[in-house]
Structure 1
Amino acid sequence: MKRIQLGNTVFEGENDVYLLDGETTALVDTGVALPDVRADLEAGLAAYDVAFADVDAIVLTHWHPDHAGLAGEIQAESGADVYVHEADAPLVNGDEIPLTEDRDLQRETFDRWGIPQADQDRLTAFFESVSAGLSGRPADVTTLVDGDELTVGGVRLEALHLPGHTAGLTGFAFDPREVAGHEPVAESDGSTPTEELFTGDALLPKYTPNVGGADVRVDAPLAAYARSLARIVERDADAAHPGHRWRIDDPSRRAAEILDHHRHRTRRVLAVLDADGPSTPWEVSAELFGDLAEIHILHGPGEAFAHLDHLDDAGVVERDGTAYRVVDPDPDVDALFPTTRLDDAVDGSD
């Protein structure tokens, strides 16, 4: 297994594409459909004597362009099978268009979150400046669901549906002993690891993946993501290979840290409502994140909405128009999230 890092100035930093080159050749994710990123990927593959035409299969963790954008172009050159979860398939095969291109969905979402018109205009202008061509050529896809198994690049992968960041985000568990050219890091007791994960953006080593704004199709996005994090904790894999930056050597602990981060952030959201009274997601995001620019004009209020929506579902706050107000002044925030075996071992922060 080889990690190829691609430039990414639009989203969350360098993308990771993984090359599996055993009995056949496969990629996990592809990068965004921009000429310089395509060149990065072509050069990265060429270092291992692989060209786009040699790719037999592409496994996508989710639909976002920085992970799926080049899938259609590579498929056109190679005839590769493209696998993606059924919930994200319509945004890869072209049956649906994303929020960045859907003006009606933009207006409905931005108004519901209370984003001022001037900031809506700034965000729309950002979309227009960067979104053209990012999603690339539509791909013919083979859909998968949780628990499906497929063998690509000589490696057997088990699909783990981990929604939250997107509706169909899927991780893939594999036995590192099956992977050609991959040297698993031995455990402290000298034993050989038996499970590692590709996690896409479900688990990142530096940032906490956005929920709420990253895919507005997700129902109860924070609740979905919290369950996904708890699942990663309990899976207890030996390592994770994320969609950005570097390998995570203790994915269970990292997942528990992010889960605790969301408990802390929920308390901060409640503190904003206590101090300011009824507030919109945009107003809450201003208190949480300050001034926002570019993609964060979407992600900031989206994140605030995800927390407010979670509290609304639990009966802690209620929505009145675009604003939310507290109805339970002393909630048990911990009880709003799954419990895991590592809860006492982490001390997250916002």
Structure 2
Amino acid sequence: MERITLENTVFEGLNDVYVFGAGSDAPTLIDTGVAMPETREQLEDGLADAGVAIADIEQILLTHWHGDHAGLAGELQEESGATVRAHAADAPLIGGEEDAWETMDERQRDLLDEWGMPADPRAELLGFLDGSLQGTPPTVEPFEDGARFDTPEGTLEALHLPGHAAGLAGFAFDGTDGRELFSGDALLPHYTPNVGGADVRVERPLANYLDTLAAIVDAGFARAWPGHRDPIDDPAGRAREIIVHHRERTGNVLDVLREHGPASAWTVSEHLFGDLSAIHILHGPGEAYAHLEHLSAHDVTERTDDGYRLLDSDPDLDELFPAVVE
């Protein structure tokens, strides 16, 4: 397996593309990078260094629909004829289906209103999103959790890992030290993947993501290969760290409501993150919303016309999070 690192100044930085079967006549790619000319050039150089021509690619497995992971899939498919696969929840977006994008846009508009986002940051955000990084839509074959894909270096098993995206999928395989995982953005070494704003289609985004993290802990993977930056040698430990992070952030949200509530997701975001720009205008209140909804699901808050109101000012946060933190 070969890892190709691509520069990315738009999102979390340093995207990873993985190649199974470099030097064979049927290589498989996991993710592609963002649809920008300089990224395409870096990918081509990395593939050439690995002994892979784009025309030889047989299969492209995508972890999720975000442009920094799926953006170049269409271009690569046009040149190679490769089969592009993605989880069924994300395949319509990656394939550019109009109905799927209209549903996404409608959901986003509704949430921006619900979150209380003011006009100026909303205009900045929508202007950023209009500069689409999705690239040419490929023809996509959808798969479900548990699907298995043959490669020249062994079989990859799809694992549905929702939270950051509705159709985020990892790919597990037998490595030298045990079972390993291509984790996409479900598990990152330095950043905590955004929930709530990164994919507005996800219902109860924090609860879904906590379930994903608990599943990674339970699986006991020997190593994870993330969508950004370097491999993770203790995936279960990293998953536990992110659970602790979200528990602490939930405490911060409660502090805001105690001092300033009732409050909208936008107001909570302002207190947590301050001024935001570009994609973070979406991610900040989205994260606040994910935590507020998690609290509401456990009857700690309720949504009112004036914002989220505390029902329980001193809840037991341990009851709201998986019991996997040592």
TM-score, structure 1 normalization? 0.89
- The equivalent of 1:318 in structure 2 is 302
CA distance in 2, matches of 1:52, 1:214: 30
2:27 counterpart of 1:30: no
CA distance in 2, matches of 1:98, 1:253: 36
2:126 counterpart of 1:142: no
Alignment of 1:110-189 (within 5 A): 110-128=112-130, 130-131=131-132, 134-176=133-175, 184=176
- The equivalent of 2:53 in structure 1 is 51
Moved more, 233-242 or 326-335: 326-335
CA distance in 2, matches of 1:27, 1:210: 24
Confirm or deny: 8 A CA contact 1:100 1:127 kept in the other structure: no
SS of corresponding position for 2:85: strand
CA shift for structure 1 position 322: 6.1
Gaps of 5+ in 2: none
- The equivalent of 1:281 in structure 2 is 265
SS of corresponding position for 1:302: helix
Number of residue-to-residue matches in the alignment: 324
CA distance in 2, matches of 1:156, 1:175: 8
2:247 counterpart of 1:263: yes
CA shift for structure 1 position 95: 1.1
- The equivalent of 2:8 in structure 1 is 8
Aligned-pair RMSD on alpha carbons? 1.7
2:81 counterpart of 1:79: yes
- The equivalent of 1:19 in structure 2 is 19
CA shift for structure 1 position 99: 7.1
- Alpha-carbon displacement from aligned partner over 1:275-326 (angstroms, at most 9, x marks no partner): 1120000100111111111111100000000000111111110001361010
Confirm or deny: 8 A CA contact 2:32 2:71 kept in the other structure: yes
Confirm or deny: 8 A CA contact 1:220 1:309 kept in the other structure: yes
Residues 295, 219 of structure 1: alpha-carbon distance in 2 compared, 3 angstrom cutoff: same
- Alpha-carbon displacement from aligned partner over 1:309-346 (angstroms, at most 9, x marks no partner): 11111111000136101011221111111111xx12xx
Residues 41, 127 of structure 1: alpha-carbon distance in 2 compared, 3 angstrom cutoff: same
After the TM superposition, list the runs of 4 or more consecutive aligned residues in structure 1 that deviate by more than 6 angstroms.
97-102
- The equivalent of 2:203 in structure 1 is 219
Identity of aligned residues (%): 56
CA shift for structure 1 position 105: 4.2
Gaps of 5+ in 1: 177-183, 185-192, 345-350
CA distance in 1, matches of 2:220, 2:188: 16
Alignment of 1:61-100 (within 5 A): 61-96=63-98
AA aligned to 2:194 is: N
- The equivalent of 2:186 in structure 1 is 202
Confirm or deny: 8 A CA contact 2:93 2:101 kept in the other structure: no
